[in-house]
Structure 1
Amino acid sequence: MTLTWQTDGQTWFLLPPQPRAVIHFLGGAFVGSAPQFFYSRLLEELARMGMAVVATPYTTDIDHAQLAFKAAQSLHRSLQSKGLMGLPLFGLGHSLGGKLQILSCLALPSLGSQRRGNIFLAYSNAGLERALPVLQALAQAWPQQQLSTLWRMWMGSSSPPVNLWLEFEPSPAETNRLIEEQYPVRNNLLVEFQQDDIDDIPLLYQQLRRKYGGYTEWQRLEGDHLTPLGFSYPFRVGGEFSPIDAFAQFFYQDLLAPNQRMIRSIQAWLAAQLA
């Protein structure tokens, strides 16, 4: 099945002819600004299994609550405008995108409660000191005006937050409290990668097990924190397909083998949820 990315200027879509369900996707910090590019392999594979993909880009900021609220609003508009409101809804987030998925379920509770399930890839609920050590160090040494200029260069924000060096909003501790008290989604898939030492999957698993018992599945796969990233297959077989092209294709497929195994695991979990 060949599908073409569409956009309304704010959100990116992959829409199969007769979708079985909807996947709302939020990528990681920085790369989440272009999900149709950095996560094209994953999202296009999900679309080929009949999932309507709604990918919301965002500009990284320390106000995670506001990012999540905007993502939830964007999802609601997209479901309405694309005629997808009646379909089963799943959330999918990588790294910071996982935290934003949790917060977006709380930002619009009526929409969050409709979710059939959420998928967390290398989930991160890191504090600012652990997530952005470089900016943390600069904040202690540089005048605020210079730091603001750096923030605009890196984040694309015209009005950087005054207290950049304090903490994300909500903080890791506050996010954990919200999960314990308000998170409404019972079915969850947590994907941890063996070479990833910066995720927060184990703690999230404990929280969700306490809250919802055996409805949470934890998978530990080969790969690292960047395994969810993957571009669409770039080689075209034609009359000039050379031995060098063949070698490059083999190397490319081997490099993305962990990404492909992750995709197959996600597809299997989704198929079970929709059975």
Structure 2
Amino acid sequence: MTFTKYQFNNFCYWPSNPKKIVEFIGGSYLASKPDLTYKRFIDSLINKNYAVHAYKYTPQFDHQQLAIKAWRDFKNCRISLSKRIGTSIPSIRIGHSLGCKLHLISPDGGRNCEKFISISFNNFSANKSIPLLKQISRKLEFNSEFSPSPERTLRLIEKTYNQKNNFLIKFNSDELDQTDKLFSCLKARKEDNSKGVMLKGTHTIIASAGLRENFLGDWADDEFKRNTIKKISNLIDESD
């Protein structure tokens, strides 16, 4: 039986005796309602006896602030779970799209987890990520960019990110993916153990199943999507 509650901006799913914690951050906008937009993915992890903490956030330009807030909230949820089950258990960090970046620029440099799993890493500039921003900024004569910028993000990862065990997942029909840049950045560090895999699918293959199912019923949940999510959860479990 799984106990579910919302605290510290996280939807927390706690099996009675979980083997590990998954700290999950979803992509921009999708993460405003992760309990719905990532429902099937979360369920697949709970079924493998992981406690899941799915972070809820609203997109903003200051990604560093978002990363710090997520890190603190995950820490508080780990403490709550430890009190509930009477022991501390290891954590795994998983990110999707922008969520990958937020984990990678975490204040602890990835030290306080066993490994990090990146799904469809995205590190685009604000102009590419936000429709019409480039035209508006030119018209109003102001410059807007995410903080840290895409270039600085990669430099920070190479210089300050300390987690050696990273598993990167990309999809063959994903035009938003920048996993190759992340992989090269990680491999530039000493003693890096990062590995990667390519699967069939698109950028949002792990998302929206819960949303469609909620409104349209089980028949709306594509079988390919369902099988891909199962494959990803198996890869996560096997990499332990």
TM range, smaller chain: 0.7 to 0.9
Instruction: In structure 1, give the amino acid aligned to 2:93.
Output: G
Where structure 1 has 5 or more consecutive residues not aligned to the other structure, the ranges are 145-162, 236-244
Q: Which residue of 2 aligns with 1:201?
A: 179
The answer to which of 33-42 and 85-94 deviates more is 85-94
Alignment map for 1:44-55 (pairs within 5 Å): 44-55=43-54
Following superposition, the deviation at residue 197 of structure 1 comes to 1.8
Where structure 2 has 5 or more consecutive residues not aligned to the other structure, the ranges are none
CA distance, structure 1, for counterparts of residue 209 and residue 13 of structure 2: 15
Following superposition, the deviation at residue 127 of structure 1 comes to 1.1
1:223 to 201, 207, 214: 201
Q: Which residue of 1 aligns with 2:147?
A: 169
Query: How far does the alpha carbon of each residue in 1:126-166 deviate from its partner, in whole angstroms, 9 at most, with x for none?
Result: 1112222422222333x59xxxxxxxxxxxxxxxxxx6x42
TM-score by length of 1: 0.77
User: Is 1:268 aligned with 2:235?
Assistant: no
Query: How far does the alpha carbon of each residue in 1:27-50 deviate from its partner, in whole angstroms, 9 at most, with x for none?
Result: 000111111111111111111111
CA distance, structure 2, for counterparts of residue 93 and residue 64 of structure 1: 14
| Structure in which a larger fraction of residues adopt helix | 1
Instruction: In structure 1, give the amino acid aligned to 2:94.
Output: L
CA distance, structure 1, for counterparts of residue 75 and residue 213 of structure 2: 33
Aligned residues: 234
User: Is 1:18 aligned with 2:20?
Assistant: no
Instruction: In structure 1, give the amino acid aligned to 2:226.
Output: L
CA distance, structure 2, for counterparts of residue 9 and residue 20 of structure 1: 22
Q: Contact 2:8–2:76 (CA<8 Å) still a contact in 1?
A: no
1:97 to 96, 99, 102: 99
The SS at the match of 1:23 is strand
Distance 1:255 1:137, change over 3 A: same
CA distance, structure 2, for counterparts of residue 225 and residue 4 of structure 1: 30
The SS at the match of 1:189 is strand
Identity, % of aligned positions: 26
Q: Which residue of 2 aligns with 1:35?
A: 34
| Structure in which a larger fraction of residues adopt strand | 2
The answer to which of 26-35 and 202-211 deviates more is 202-211
Query: How far does the alpha carbon of each residue in 1:44-100 deviate from its partner, in whole angstroms, 9 at most, with x for none?
Result: 111111111111111100100000010011011111122177211111000000000
The SS at the match of 2:189 is helix
Q: Which residue of 2 aligns with 1:8?
A: 7
- C-alpha RMSD of matched pairs (Å): 2.4
Q: Which residue of 2 aligns with 1:115?
A: 113
The SS at the match of 2:117 is strand
CA distance, structure 2, for counterparts of residue 267 and residue 230 of structure 1: 22
CA distance, structure 1, for counterparts of residue 45 and residue 78 of structure 2: 17
1:128 to 122, 126, 129: 126
CA distance, structure 2, for counterparts of residue 212 and residue 227 of structure 1: 33
CA distance, structure 1, for counterparts of residue 8 and residue 67 of structure 2: 19
Q: Which residue of 2 aligns with 1:155?
A: none
The SS at the match of 2:2 is coil
The answer to which of 260-269 and 197-206 deviates more is 260-269
User: Is 1:252 aligned with 2:185?
Assistant: no
Larger-Rg structure? 1
CA distance, structure 1, for counterparts of residue 230 and residue 116 of structure 2: 19
CA distance, structure 1, for counterparts of residue 3 and residue 14 of structure 2: 8
Q: Contact 1:230–1:259 (CA<8 Å) still a contact in 2?
A: no
CA distance, structure 1, for counterparts of residue 224 and residue 75 of structure 2: 38
